[in-house]
Amino acid sequence: MESEAIKFVGVGLATIGMAGAGIGVGNIFGKFMEGALRNPTAAGAQIGNLFVGAALVEALGILAFVLGILILNS
């Protein structure tokens, strides 16, 4: 294989984390909605935890994207 082809394979593998981030954010918000519908009075206290968790998962997705771009441009 040429080095350019190997580079594209590496970029594809590095950006798999973006799909994981999408699944993770959907899981976080889905579970929050389940909990909020079961106990609406406690949902307000958990909003901060919801956004911190979503931000951390999104940060990992962005990191995977940046790593893919860095591998592509190296």
Task: Read off the pLDDT of residues 1-19 as tens digits, 9 standing for 90 and up.
Answer: 788 888 899 888 888 888 9
Q: What is the CATH number of domain 3-72?
A: 1.20.20.10
DSSP-assigned states of every residue in 11-74: HHHHTHHHHHHHHHHHHHHHHHHHHHHH-HHHHGGGHHHHHHHHHHHHHHHHHHHHHHHHHHT-
Q: Is the pTM of this model over 0.95?
A: no
The residue to which tokens 């790593």 are assigned = 67
Residue 28 near residue 53, CB atoms below 8 Å:
yes
Domain limits, the chain: 3-72
Provide block-wise average pLDDT over 10 residues at a time, the chain (74 residues).
85 88 94 93 90 93 91 87
Q: Show the beta-strand stretches assigned E in the chain.
A: none
